[in-house]
Structure 1
Amino acid sequence: MKRTYSLILLMLCLFLASCSSEKEKTFVEDKTTKVVAFDPIKVEGLNVILQAYKMTYMSEGEEAVAYVTLPEKEGSYPVNLSLHGGFPASKDLSHVSDMMGVTFDKNMVLYSASPGLISLVPLYRGYGESDGTVPGLNGATLDTSHAIDALTAYLEKNEKRKSTEDVFVSGTSLGGGVGLKLATIRDDLADVVAVSPYVGLDPVYPWLLENQDKDIGFLDMYQEAYGDYDPKSEQTKEESINVKKINVPVLIVQGDADRHTDWHPVKSFYDELKKENDNTTFELIPDGDHGLMNKQEELNAITAAWFNEQF
């Protein structure tokens, strides 16, 4: 979803302006960090002091695409990771071009680019120019993790603009879930801001079974992709998010009029996460729709205030 994070990006830049020292690390390029191509692109409307690129990288044996912006001057910068929405379950679809008003192309980078940051917008397999078919939550998380590794390794080897290995994460819908799950498998995340997040199979599937009057087609999707709900199966665990492994600051913002991501399982997920991670905040916006498209000013105010408190 289109989101305007200019306030939080400015705050992030000011806070991290002094982060110019490079960390000592040796990167070994392998199939999970291989960059196939790193091509400069033009993005209309992008800040003229930023340079944009299309990065083609390998993820789970397929070529995937991510869009990147780099600051003009050499140095080390945090990564601003922006994660898009999509299907919550795997589907036999490839090169999905758009969903719910979002076109999966280079213009997505406009909503996360900032002069003081490295911006990274990965497209999961099956979306936009990425090969392969649409994965579920776990597959999209792996794609994102590979994109971070690929970019970090490429910059270390080829650029004077490098990553500090501090990754600030924002995601909407499926992307919010990807950010949360990413926090369970990586230790370089600084925070996660999740807007209208898909919180995984374990909370959502059983809730829909008990509230089928709220279902708008997701039950059939889960049934087709995963069969009957089985809380003990490895697949359910794989497509869910282990709250015990999240220890970074988390902000979850949800609308109570969201028909695609009902707020009840999101609140239940938050309650469980709060028990494990006290630095977790949940904000429910009255009449907010999916992605809070109709409540952008409120979303920006909440996000900016939370970020200012954290950093």
Structure 2
Amino acid sequence: MKRILTSLTAFVMLFANIAVAKNQLLPLEAFASIPDVSHVTMSPNGKLIASLVRLNTDKQQGAIINILDIDTRESIFPVQTDNEKFVILSMSWASDDLLLVEAKFPAVRYGTPTTETRIITYSVSKKKISNLLSRFGLKKFKWMPQIQSNIIDYLPNDEKHILLGINGLGNKPQYESVIQVNLNNGNVRFKQPAESNITDWVTDRQNRIRVGIYRKDTQYRIYEQADAHKDRRLLWEFEAFEEDQVWPMGFAEDKDILYVQAYHEGYEAIFKVNLQDPKLTKELVFSKEFSDVNGSLIYSKLKKKVIGIDDGDESEYTFWDKEYIGLANGLNKALPDYRNYITQFSENERRYIVYSTNAKEAGIYFFGDRDAGQLLPIAYRYKQLSPDVLADTEILTYQARDGLDIQAFLTTPKGQEAKNLPTIIFPHGGPISYDSNSFDYWTQFFANRGYAVLRMNFRGSAGYGYDFMKAGLKNWGLDMQNDVEDGTRWLIERGTADPNKICIVGASYGGYAALMGVATTKDLYQCAVSVAGVTDIEYLVKSSRRYTNFEIVKKQIGDDYDALYDRSPLSKAKDINVPVLLIHGDKDRVVRVQHSEDMFDELEDLNKPVEYIELENGDHYLSNNKHRINTFMAIEAFLQKNLL
């Protein structure tokens, strides 16, 4: 690792020389803009790196794909978007020449708002952009498929084809078939006909279609077959959100060894199962104490075996193979203050991409070459954000009123004593999601503007085991909301928060929690901001009726509609007596814009202090750069007016 350390030392010294002074107020755009670089992916031969780069000129805004030749350092820019008509979700290489680009766009089907996905292809040698599915191939469908991006298998030994899961075909077009798509001409061939209620398929390492995942209402079943068209047998069945669930992850090289995710002593863990075993005994492969394991398998094509687990976005890859354990340890020694993710290997596993980050580092992409002994920085995720001026985050635990321990993350302004500060309470969205001690551009923006920021993983958050997750089911506005309030009062008691300068801010479910906070607690918060927030839980559940996950939504949130409305901010508008800022995209397909429109109308009719900004063509995720900047500008002005 000496040559790696030498390269990195020079890099760190260079970075230190351009570091800005302490306590510097950074431009709002440095935080609010979409990432400068994202979706970095390497071709199988390790010679080309594709990435999505923010486009910001006087004439053009959006994102553009950059394909860099590592050896020549030359780039091409084949695809761009304004992030309104469509948004690029991911990129991957089907071969050394062909890049697959997944994109989404909003649409309406039979009066129901939908999100559509498509895959476009770019051939480097031909300099040609195409739709994955040709017009001729689409003629075989009974209707235009909504989701056209579910790649089942890249078929690594066949550069001309991939397997795609898709509906709209055969005798059961409402369910998912598997087709083989010709990457040269977009034509399709049936591989697996759709079966009633099977929503996804899994292949083995020999590219046979082996596992079908069945869902009807809230019941799941896992079926196994020898190949497409073969008889299936039932492996497991379970209800949604129950502890006996078993989720297929992928196969070993041995066609009979299936890796699965299931609960172990109350926490999600990784097992392997021999499908020839009549008892389907689960052999524990990897678990973590008092924490769930989530992620995907890391499979070595070179060694023809599973070598580890990508156990989520917030911790390092965990390798089981000695060679790769050594590589990971070397990276961690070279970059000791970072969480280092090996995100991709070349086909011969000599070249690789590393993404390094921590609470104050917005993210650095490195290119590694094991033969040359090099690890070189190639891109910054947010190039204007230097760790030298960003704020530290402290991991804390407080007790909810019923004694449950709640993990929290406190970020305070750089260079200021953590006492009597204007404060942002910032509950996360989801709500089955989680916060962590990782870089968060919202949090760092607030801290840079002089606010303390408290994020908490209230009950129902992911990662803390089965009991903690289940405690959040049908709990909107109840104990989940109490956990947020208890965190606020705890922060006041420890002297960090100025009790007269606290605003509760959130997006999606966090927006719901923000509005419920000011509706149900008097004199605790001085204002609230809801971005794409839920305001009417009854409407949220009922609006899922025309979607396939309706029964799942009811089991997660509830179906006592009177009770749901009573636990909605919309029903409690009369109790809100502090300024409220509502922001919502009119093309939001996760939480419909009607939530904020109705809340604004209700508050305005009651002469409550409310502002509303509707983002034209805006989605749920502030994917458009202008929308994101306008949102941050509005929040900054609102907070200055009501807290400082």
CA-to-aligned-CA distance 1:204-234 (integer Å, 9 cap, x gap): 334x17xx44x463x3234224654432x4x
| C-alpha spacing 1:227/1:253, structure 2 compared with 1 (3 Å) | closer
CA distance in 1 between partners of 2:618 and 2:548 (Å): 18
Q: Within 5 Å, give how 1:16-27 maps onto structure 2.
A: none
Say if 1:169 and 1:191, in contact at 8 Å, map to a contact too: yes
CA distance in 1 between partners of 2:641 and 2:618 (Å): 24
Of the three residues 473, 489, 503, the one matched with 1:149 is: 489
Compute the displacement of 1:309 (Å): 5.7
Say if 1:256 and 1:262, in contact at 8 Å, map to a contact too: yes
Counterpart of 1:259, as a letter, is: R
Matched residue, 1:54: 395
CA distance in 1 between partners of 2:459 and 2:451 (Å): 25
Compute the displacement of 1:77 (Å): 1.0
Say if 2:583 and 2:596, in contact at 8 Å, map to a contact too: no
| C-alpha spacing 1:274/1:201, structure 2 compared with 1 (3 Å) | same
CA distance in 2 between partners of 1:238 and 1:189 (Å): 19
| C-alpha spacing 1:164/1:258, structure 2 compared with 1 (3 Å) | same
Say if 2:541 and 2:557, in contact at 8 Å, map to a contact too: no
| C-alpha spacing 1:117/1:130, structure 2 compared with 1 (3 Å) | farther
Q: Within 5 Å, give how 1:161-310 maps onto structure 2.
A: 162-165=496-499, 166-186=501-521, 187-206=523-542, 208=543, 212-213=545-546, 215=547, 217=549, 219-225=550-556, 228-231=559-562, 233=563, 236-238=565-567, 241=570, 242-294=572-624, 295-307=627-639
Say if 2:398 and 2:490, in contact at 8 Å, map to a contact too: yes
| C-alpha spacing 1:50/1:247, structure 2 compared with 1 (3 Å) | same
Root-mean-square deviation (CA, aligned residues, Å) is: 3.2
Say if 1:203 and 1:269, in contact at 8 Å, map to a contact too: no
CA distance in 2 between partners of 1:198 and 1:7 (Å): 26
More moved, 107-116 vs 293-302: 107-116
Identity of aligned residues (%): 20
Matched residue, 1:84: 428
| C-alpha spacing 1:110/1:302, structure 2 compared with 1 (3 Å) | closer
Say if 1:251 and 1:280, in contact at 8 Å, map to a contact too: yes
CA distance in 1 between partners of 2:390 and 2:629 (Å): 27
CA distance in 1 between partners of 2:604 and 2:552 (Å): 29
Compute the displacement of 1:47 (Å): 5.3
Say if 1:141 and 1:179, in contact at 8 Å, map to a contact too: no
CA distance in 2 between partners of 1:306 and 1:204 (Å): 27
Matched, 1:65 2:398: no
Say if 2:429 and 2:506, in contact at 8 Å, map to a contact too: yes
CA distance in 2 between partners of 1:297 and 1:238 (Å): 32
| C-alpha spacing 1:226/1:188, structure 2 compared with 1 (3 Å) | closer
State the secondary structure of the residue aligned to 1:67.
Answer: strand
Say if 1:177 and 1:199, in contact at 8 Å, map to a contact too: yes
Compute the displacement of 1:163 (Å): 2.0
CA distance in 1 between partners of 2:453 and 2:534 (Å): 23
More moved, 247-256 vs 171-180: 247-256
Say if 1:124 and 1:130, in contact at 8 Å, map to a contact too: no
CA-to-aligned-CA distance 1:143-172 (integer Å, 9 cap, x gap): 11111122222x23xxxxx32112122200
| C-alpha spacing 1:50/1:309, structure 2 compared with 1 (3 Å) | closer
| C-alpha spacing 1:6/1:142, structure 2 compared with 1 (3 Å) | farther
| C-alpha spacing 1:173/1:127, structure 2 compared with 1 (3 Å) | same
State the secondary structure of the residue aligned to 2:603.
Answer: helix
CA distance in 1 between partners of 2:587 and 2:576 (Å): 27
Say if 1:109 and 1:119, in contact at 8 Å, map to a contact too: no
Say if 1:200 and 1:239, in contact at 8 Å, map to a contact too: yes
CA distance in 2 between partners of 1:128 and 1:54 (Å): 17
CA-to-aligned-CA distance 1:89-140 (integer Å, 9 cap, x gap): xxxxxxx6x5xxxx63112555324152222111222325556125232133
Of the three residues 116, 122, 143, the one matched with 2:456 is: 122
State the secondary structure of the residue aligned to 2:512.
Answer: helix
Say if 1:168 and 1:191, in contact at 8 Å, map to a contact too: yes
Say if 1:65 and 1:130, in contact at 8 Å, map to a contact too: no
Say if 1:126 and 1:133, in contact at 8 Å, map to a contact too: yes
TM-score normalised to the size of structure 1?
0.69
CA distance in 1 between partners of 2:435 and 2:628 (Å): 21
Say if 1:195 and 1:254, in contact at 8 Å, map to a contact too: yes
State the secondary structure of the residue aligned to 2:519.
Answer: coil
TM-score normalised to the size of structure 2?
0.35
CA distance in 1 between partners of 2:409 and 2:554 (Å): 33
Say if 1:64 and 1:130, in contact at 8 Å, map to a contact too: no
Unpaired runs of 5+ residues, structure 2, are 1-25, 32-357, 362-386
State the secondary structure of the residue aligned to 1:66.
Answer: strand
Say if 2:504 and 2:529, in contact at 8 Å, map to a contact too: yes
Compute the displacement of 1:257 (Å): 1.0
CA distance in 1 between partners of 2:613 and 2:582 (Å): 6
Unpaired runs of 5+ residues, structure 1, are 11-41, 88-95, 157-161
Matched, 1:111 2:442: yes
Q: Return the structure number with greater strand share.
A: 2
CA distance in 1 between partners of 2:593 and 2:409 (Å): 31
Counterpart of 2:481, as a letter, is: T
CA distance in 2 between partners of 1:202 and 1:277 (Å): 24
Compute the displacement of 1:278 (Å): 3.0
Say if 2:533 and 2:596, in contact at 8 Å, map to a contact too: yes
| C-alpha spacing 1:6/1:279, structure 2 compared with 1 (3 Å) | farther
Q: Return the structure number with greater helix share.
A: 1
State the secondary structure of the residue aligned to 2:438.
Answer: helix
Larger Rg: 2
Counterpart of 1:281, as a letter, is: E
